[in-house]
Homo-oligomer: A and B are copies of this chain.
């Protein structure tokens, strides 16, 4: 495999970047140069040491020359691959995203993709991504760009806004978790050891975090009839309030029983393909109250934990043991190897619609299957879901486009129309307007 020059924007990150170092170590064919760029310059510099330690611990010292770079242009120059994983705005901006809506009775389980909180986060992120794209156009127009930042759809859309010919895709592991859930079911249904999630073949459609499985196969078996049976069985939905409360206590925000996903299959005809905490935010009837959400075993990630965790991550010192690489759930390195010609990959991708999703306009960032090979990402056509699902997705995608256009043109009045149109919006016009103004204020403190 050829030497690859990689730039990580958000290279000071304590979580995502370090996982990526480990993935690079684990895949022994990769080698080249790694440049860390971060608005927190000290963090980037500190991560150079961490990266070197990761390669050393995993007996790969020398495979990558790692450095930090304060200037974005210099960091990007000559890159083959740019990876973007940032926090748009300081962590305390999340107060406005999460706590203010709650004060008005709008509950969000994640608040980084959709809902009032996701919209404000988009308002902070979009200008940054337009800038990144323009820098890429100048310094490495031929580089492949992988975005991991949420709101995924809008950050990726902003890249294409800033540089229409950018070779970018958005990457997300939520569909993998759904495949893993199906793998578990396969183990049970066919009395076999749980297969690898890569052996579950799904046909997906939607927008990131609001994606749906329309077809699923394992070893030639159509899984949809069994899934429908499961979804239609009232016993599936036995009350999980106890489970939820335990999860609250144990801070297991990400645990998921896929009951929201299944209830979408039961009601609308396609299986939700993201964690329940994400799916629940795109429709009004799961987040009516915490009690209702708990019945599905879902708990909301609290603002306080986010602040605490951010601090813990920042202060964390890694033991060697923690830097040992194993096969991870992230596909970033596999995508990189595929784009560099070392393998091929059939996976899920977030890319501008060229026809892969026939019920959305061209150009919208959509999530579908895709085939990745040497210098090429090709979207695979998604089967059409039932009309009820199309309706839910279309609405979300339209609101995303309204948000993008409003933020790019700096028009907060237009953004308010998107705000009103969000699926979680259940306030009176007066209250909606009041909340919007407060959230604009809280979101201003970008850095």
Q: A292-B428, A379-B380 in contact; A420/B374 too (CB < 8 A)? A: no
Instruction: Give A335-379 interface residues, CB cut-off 8 Å to B.
Output: 340-341, 344, 346, 354-358, 362, 369, 371, 373-376, 378-379
- In the complex, whether A187 has a CB less than 8 A from a CB of chain B is no
Docked complex Cα distance between A267 and B383 (Å): 35
Q: Chain A, interface size: which category? A: 35 or more
Say whether chain A's binding surface is mostly helix, strand, loop, or mixed: mixed
28 pairs, CB–CB < 8 Å, chain A vs chain B: A201-B376, A203-B378, A217-B374, A219-B374, A220-B341, A220-B374, A267-B413, A268-B417, A269-B417, A284-B425, A285-B427, A288-B428, A288-B431, A292-B429, A295-B430, A344-B346, A355-B357, A355-B381, A356-B381, A358-B362, A371-B371, A378-B381, A379-B380, A379-B381, A387-B402, A391-B395, A391-B398, A394-B398
Instruction: Give A219-248 interface residues, CB cut-off 8 Å to B.
Output: 219-220, 222
Docked complex Cα distance between A405 and B391 (Å): 14
Q: How many copies does the complex hold?
A: 4
Q: 1/0 contact trace for A390-402 toward B, CB 8 Å?
A: 1110110011011
In the complex, residue of chain B having the shortest beta-carbon distance to the beta carbon of A419: B267
Q: A387-B402, A388-B418, A391-B398 in contact; A378/B380 too (CB < 8 A)? A: yes
Docked complex Cα distance between A31 and B158 (Å): 52
- In the complex, whether A60 has a CB less than 8 A from a CB of chain B is no
Contact (Cβ within 8 A) A285 B373: no
Contact (Cβ within 8 A) B201 A284: no
Docked complex Cα distance between A391 and B399 (Å): 8
- In the complex, whether A421 has a CB less than 8 A from a CB of chain B is yes
Contact (Cβ within 8 A) B429 A375: no
Contact among B267, B357, B428 for A286, CB-based, below 8 A: B428
Instruction: Give A407-430 interface residues, CB cut-off 8 Å to B.
Output: 413-414, 416-418, 420-421, 425-430
Docked complex Cα distance between A371 and B426 (Å): 40
Docked complex Cα distance between A237 and B373 (Å): 34
Contact (Cβ within 8 A) A402 B398: no
Contact (Cβ within 8 A) B398 A201: no
- In the complex, whether A289 has a CB less than 8 A from a CB of chain B is yes
